[in-house]
Structure 1
């Protein structure tokens, strides 16, 4: 692909940082968050549930950063009402804290998360993961630019879902290889950032924003060999669960690379795994997600 004409521009996003982090306390260990804009299937974006649940838990944990979380999406969230978060304190020790977070709307549980927090301590250090050799983000087109340039070749679902503002700024590596073809390898990588995160000083809030971004385009890797990896009138991809491990601090206004791949798909479910690297090649987080992959019948 030729060098993008808008490579220095900020691509539009539809989820302001202040809105993602809009979580207020309603009573002890209970919090309320805003639902935000609809995703491709008309419900609350899963990354918002991840970020706001983690933030709700953080408001009950003194200072400790998050080390991991494991979450389940139980029902589609509605965007016309706020989300209630209930935090249950499971453990508080000198270096660890564990929380159970339940998200509800109109009395129905739509999401649960188990989160762990850990105080940094001296220990062993290694990184047996390497960032793949990809062009820097300045030499990669935004997904919106790609869609505009190749609109005549792309399926209508791609132009509908990716031409306008997204939840994050994203620059995919070689998107034509899976948006215009069906490769055998279930993998893709993309640069992403959230420019508004520059105004966020708190390192724990940066973790919430990274959790938010981690949900975008992860699960779709499992669909790549089989179907156009985006929701349409013919195909449904929806997240069933999401796990994340935080390895090193990161700033979400800086470009990071999410390298995703799928080791397996069967029985209507596909598993995707991801590694998030900063520009220096440090592995800052690992992700995993299982999605429902369903061909829709007309």
Structure 2
């Protein structure tokens, strides 16, 4: 299935000076603005350019204002700490001088330590046995919400294969949402830290929507405006984004116009690759977006 942006485009930054970069806005998301995952990935790529060797261990971001796709994005990297084992960076993304996004990232040089994993991968079919999202939308066009056809029938940020999609396309349940994803063009990326950037890009897609599933169809449409406010990502183990990964997502709470989503990303062998969390604006609408 076609994807909206290639890995090389997502990661491409123009160098303007020490700790200063800029990039294009890329493709629009559902509400006509820059896809948040692109801002996360490019901010991390900018931070990586200022840190030698160490992989990223975590990133915490806030979306401050909508990014406009027809304007360049400026990235400013500030060095907060450099030590033998750790580095910390803060990245600010701006358009026309206005801050639209900020990121804090931690880097850590791997060392011998304790190892465990208590998180269990859900028992789901392999991706080869799951229908691509666009195919499901086409086949169920007469039965599903019009916003699903608008948002999910064309090219998307990644290849997507949702598990049991009827549970959230046609039912209002309190369950989780699981889906396989991959970015095939990531096969051309060799640097493990840039693969982390691409995983961060992918981690922002379809995470927040799980919080709307008990209430309305979980995408921007005539009943719902959903928009990311912050995003957190912890990297546990290396992985490649050209390979299938499973994102297991749940929403423990929603109230006062906000919702919380949490996720776990597994590889096909059941290893926990990353943990995610996101707060979103969850606004009920009475007229079309």
- The one of 253, 260, 272 equivalent to 1:283 is 272
- Per-residue deviation, 1:82: 1.0
Alignment partner, residue 139 of structure 2: 149
Match of 1:224 in 2: 213
Partner in structure 1 of residue 178 of structure 2:
189
Count of aligned positions:
287
Q: Give yes or no for the alignment of 1:238 onto 2:227.
A: yes
The match for 1:200 is 189
Once residues 104 and 145 of structure 2 are traced to their aligned partners in structure 1, the CA distance between those partners, rounded to angstroms, is 38
Q: After superposition, what is the alpha-carbon deviation per residue over 1:1-59, rounded to whole angstroms, capped at 9, x for unaligned?
A: xxxxxxxxxx1101111110111210111111121010000000000000000000000
Deviations 1:119-155 (A, max 9, x none): 0000000001010000000000010010011100011
Equivalent of 2:73, from 75, 78, 83? 83
Q: Could you tell me which residue of structure 2 aligns to residue 259 of structure 1?
A: 248
| CA offset digits 1:228-271 (Å, max 9, x no partner) | 10001221010000000000000100000000000100111100
Supply the distance in 2 between the matched residues of 1:53 and 1:184 (Cα, whole angstroms).
34
Deviations 1:79-104 (A, max 9, x none): 00110000000000001000010000
Structure 1 residue runs without a partner (length 5+): 1-10
Aligned to 1:12: 2
Q: Distance in 1 between matches of 2:177 and 2:233?
A: 18
Q: Is the counterpart of residue 248 in structure 1 residue 257 in structure 2?
A: no
2:277 is the alignment partner of 1:292: no
**1:297 CA drift (Å):** 2.6
1:7 aligned residue: none
3-state SS of the aligned residue for 1:116? strand
Q: Which runs of no fewer than 5 residues in structure 2 stay unpaired?
A: none
**1:211 maps to which residue?**
200
Structure 1 Cα separation of the partners of residues 74 and 93 of structure 2: 6
Deviation string 1:194-227 (CA, Å, 9 cap, x unpaired) is 0011111100000000000000000111111011
Correspondence for 1:5: none
Aligned mates of 1:24, 1:125 — CA distance in 2? 39
Return the match for 1:62 from 52, 55, 65.
52
SS of equivalent residue, structure 2 residue 202: helix
Distance 2:174 2:56 in 1: 36
State the alpha-carbon separation in 1 of the partners of residues 25 and 242 from structure 2: 22
Counterpart contact for 2:216–2:223, Cα < 8 Å: no
Describe the SS at the equivalent of 1:85: strand
| Structure 1 residue corresponding to 2:14, chosen from 19, 24, 41 | 24
What is the TM-score normalised by the length of structure 1? 0.95
* SS in structure 1 at match of 2:144: coil
Q: Residues 179 and 247 of structure 2 are in contact (CA less than 8 Å); yes or no, is this contact kept in structure 1?
A: yes
Superposed CA RMSD: 0.6
Aligned to 1:4: none
SS at match of 1:240: strand
TM-score (norm. length: structure 2): 0.98
Query: Matched residues in 2 for 1:79 and 1:156: separation?
Result: 25
